[in-house]
Amino acid sequence: MVLVISILMNQIQPGLKVLVSSGYSLSEEAARIPKPGCNSFIQKPFDLYCISSKTRKVLDKDASITPVAITTNC
């Protein structure tokens, strides 16, 4: 589902920033994340420092595009 959503969002707004979060093991989920549809991946559980650091890295890549965060397995 994350793959479909991130691809559709990038079709609507090319270059859109997407930070994916998942509780699946890193190897399972990271292997399925499309490179053009996702800017970064964060593994659950994470703390405030980790999510803020990842978010900042994604935002700093290109400040001209609005970021969108997608969370799975909430």
Cβ-count burial 21-54 (b if 16+ within 10 Å, e if not):
bbeeeeeebeeebeeebbbbbbbeeeeeeeeeeb
E strands, 1-74, are: 17-22, 40-43, 67-71
How does pLDDT run across 5-34, given as a tens digit for each residue? 878 888 888 878 888 887 766 566 555 554
Mean pLDDT confidence for 44-52: 90
Say whether pLDDT at 74 is over 50.
no
Mean pLDDT confidence for 35-53: 81
Which pLDDT band, with edges at 50, 70 and 90, does 48 fall under?
very high
